[in-house]
Amino acid sequence: MELNDKLEILADAAKYDASCASSGAPKRSSEGKDGLGATNGMGICHSYTPDGRCVSLLKILLTNFCVYDCQYCVNRRTSNVPRARFTVQEVVKLTVDFYLRNYIDGLFLSSGIIQSADYTMEQLVAVARELREVHQFRGYIHLKTIPDADPALIEAAGRYADRLSVNIELPTQDSVQKLAPEKNVHTIKLAMGNIRLKLDEKEAEPRAPKFAPAGQSTQMIVGADASDDARILTTAETLYGSYKLKRVYYSAFSPIPESPKSVPLAPPPLLREHRLYQADFLLRSYGFQARELLPASGNLSLDIDPKLAWALAHREHFPMDLNRAEPQMIARIPGIGIRNAQRIVELRRMRQVRWADLTRLRCSMKKVAPFIVTADYRPARDTTSSDTLRRAMADVPQQMALFPELQAA
């Protein structure tokens, strides 16, 4: 098979991995690979490094042959899809060629499991090693790790890769057992724990060998099982706390050709994935806890973002006086982000904060108005019901852009 044919198959097969895909991207469908935003053709996707740079990555699988039969996966053993396999040298050559032509800044490499977890992991490590040691490649490398692989191989991967990720796949052990019977949540968490230990060692001893400087991440599939957002977000919160993950990625389940009966025929609303990313951002950056963001129904609201939903459910905090409130509470006001909360606090050290200051800070005035008090403004009457506010502020498409940071490598 020609290299280009392999590339077409293995770039297409990699698009289901959300770990370096745009969180608000159009539906990832296995049909129609030329649609808007499709990560097709040469397998180049845009992603964000931890320092916020937008980078282009060659996103491919080493192979889509797999001895496992995960029900939600297009590459599962029993799936009837064209298969291909790169050699280590082919991946290295593609990466170097694309890099030299300025097409890419780095490589995102994952793989189906061939022969054994150790054998597959050896191949992934071999690609990264050859890039770093033979070609002096200084670009970004994100390697998927195989949880069952020997910890020594995962350690070796961390020496060459910027980021490692181990997919937790599904939010509950029961779901993993049912839909990915060859996988084991205990083993997955053990691999994450080992990576965390190595990251901690490196942090404590800067002279220790380099190890995954961009940390570790994971991915959870949304909508392949019956888990609601409450379960997903609580699992994410536990993972952040236990394994110091940089990111949890949420991937809306994408129905696959000839799907087994154990997985849904229709995808979840893509907005559900987006709301999870927004809630996740609030956990990581705003000090929210999952339980504060979760409604009784179990799923995040689709019509309004989670921060607005929290504010409407906690009217007792509002309207909030911007000249007196704690900085972390100001950041919880809908329409005011962390940076503007800091600016407001700096400003009020010099003088009273006024309505025009918020306009200058480009806050969303329609959104903040019911929730704030300034030196010259107070909402006319605080009797507008939360339902009325909710209807007035129900989401508009532009709000998809409220969390630009969501798409990280």
Enumerate binding residues for ligand SF4 (CB under 6 A).
66, 68, 70, 73, 75-76, 112-113, 180
Cβ closest to ligand SF4, residue 121 vs residue 312? 121
Cβ closest to ligand SF4, residue 182 vs residue 292? 182
Cβ closest to ligand SF4, residue 114 vs residue 271? 114
Q: Which residues contact 48 (CB under 8 A, 6 or more apart)?
A: 54, 55, 405, 407, 408, 409
Smallest separation (angstroms) from ligand SF4 to the CB of 273 = 18
Smallest separation (angstroms) from ligand SF4 to the CB of 37 = 23
| Tokens matching residue 343 | 């600016």
Cβ closest to ligand SF4, residue 85 vs residue 332? 85
Task: Give strand pairing partners of 108.
Answer: 59, 142
As a whole number of angstroms, the distance between CA 65 and CA 108 comes to 18
Cβ closest to ligand SF4, residue 66 vs residue 312? 66
Smallest separation (angstroms) from ligand SF4 to the CB of 113 = 5
As a whole number of angstroms, the distance between CA 355 and CA 114 comes to 62
Smallest separation (angstroms) from ligand SF4 to the CB of 221 = 9
Contact 233, 250 (CB under 8 A): no
Residues of 265-279 as b/e, b for ≥16 C-beta within 10 angstroms? eebbebbbbbbbbbb
What radius of gyration, in Å, describes the C-alpha atoms of the chain? 23
Instruction: For Cα atoms 39, 25, 339, give the angle at the middle one, nearest 5 degrees.
Output: 125
Smallest separation (angstroms) from ligand SF4 to the CB of 10 = 12
Smallest separation (angstroms) from ligand SF4 to the CB of 184 = 12
Cβ closest to ligand SF4, residue 17 vs residue 305? 17
Question: Which residue is listed with tokens 């060459």?
Answer: 160
Of 87, 85, 106, 1, nearest to 43 by C-alpha is 106
DSSP secondary structure string for all residues of 56-112: EEEEEESB---S---TT-TTSTT------B--HHHHHHHHHHHHHTTS-SEEEEE--
Cβ closest to ligand SF4, residue 63 vs residue 278? 63
* E strand or H helix that includes residue 388: helix 386-393
Taken in order 75, 409, 161, 194, is the CA torsion positive or negative?
negative
Smallest separation (angstroms) from ligand SF4 to the CB of 117 = 9
Q: Is 373 helix (H, G, I), strand (E, B) or coil?
A: strand
Smallest separation (angstroms) from ligand SF4 to the CB of 66 = 3
Cβ closest to ligand SF4, residue 180 vs residue 282? 180
The single-letter code of the amino acid at 182 is: E
Of 56, 46, 53, 51, nearest to 23 by C-alpha is 46
Cβ closest to ligand SF4, residue 7 vs residue 62? 62
As a whole number of angstroms, the distance between CA 104 and CA 49 comes to 13
Cβ closest to ligand SF4, residue 224 vs residue 369? 224
Smallest separation (angstroms) from ligand SF4 to the CB of 56 = 24
Of 120, 124, 141, 123, nearest to 132 by C-alpha is 141
Smallest separation (angstroms) from ligand SF4 to the CB of 404 = 29
